[in-house]
Structure 1
Amino acid sequence: MAILATDIEEMIREAFPSAQISVQGDDGAHFSAEVIDESFRGKNRVQQQRAVYAALKGKMDGSAGEVHALALTTRAPD
């Protein structure tokens, strides 16, 4: 079953309830997302992105993952 951009946004929102989140993609497997959250302040890009991937609860894990690709941009608010 294909996953929707709204599904990804909901999973990220659970982990980052105050974040500004934008998810695009309509083919069910390839997406892009921007997540802006205060919790990222002081963390490097790898730490930020790992936190977002953890929120996806295994949806990107290997060949069995529902999400094939996620172009991810993360940052703390200005």
Structure 2
Amino acid sequence: METVQLIDKILKEKLSAQHVGIIDDSDKHRGHKAAGGGGHFTVTVVSECFRNVNIIDKCRLVYSALDEQINGQPKLIHALQIKTFTPDEWQSSTANTTR
């Protein structure tokens, strides 16, 4: 299974995410000495589990869900940019960008 599909599957299962968007930014970091394996990804996660949770704890939930891919061998994720939304926040966010 490709890393992007694996990330999608894990976040949907572990966080009951209604929407997961993943951008593989690895090409922007080719030759990055400190990478040590693993890709660079931006994830957008929409889940009810984020309701009434502060931003730091939202990120912790995502990191915890992906711990094996971040810290395991082989290391599949080197860098992760995280954007989290509740379904209401996501709906407001997408309504503001749709014209």
The two structures have a TM-score, normalised by structure 1, of: 0.80
How many residue pairs end up in the alignment?
76
Q: Which has the larger radius of gyration?
A: 2
Q: Give how far 1:58 is off.
A: 2.4
The corresponding residue for 1:41 is: 51
8 Å CA contact 1:37–1:75 kept in 2: the answer is yes
Aligned residue number for residue 13 of structure 1: 12
Q: Deviations over 1:11-51 (max 9, x none)?
A: 11111234211111064601100001111110001111111
Of residues 58, 61, 67, the one that matches 1:51 is: 61
Calculate percent identity across the aligned residue pairs: 31
Deviation at 1:61, TM superposition (A): 2.4
Give the secondary-structure state (helix, strand or coil) at the position aligned to 1:59: helix
CA gap of 1:74–1:43, structure 2 versus 1, over 3 A, is same
Q: Larger % of helix: which?
A: 2
Once the two structures are TM-superposed, the CA of residue 57 in structure 1 deviates from its matched residue by 3.2
Aligned CA-pair RMSD: 2.3
Tell me which amino acid in the other structure corresponds to 1:7.
L
Q: Which runs of 4+ in 1 moved over 6 A?
A: none
15-24 or 42-51, which deviates more: 15-24
Structure 1 residue ranges without an equivalent (≥5): none
List alignment gaps of at least 5 residues for structure 2.
27-37, 89-99
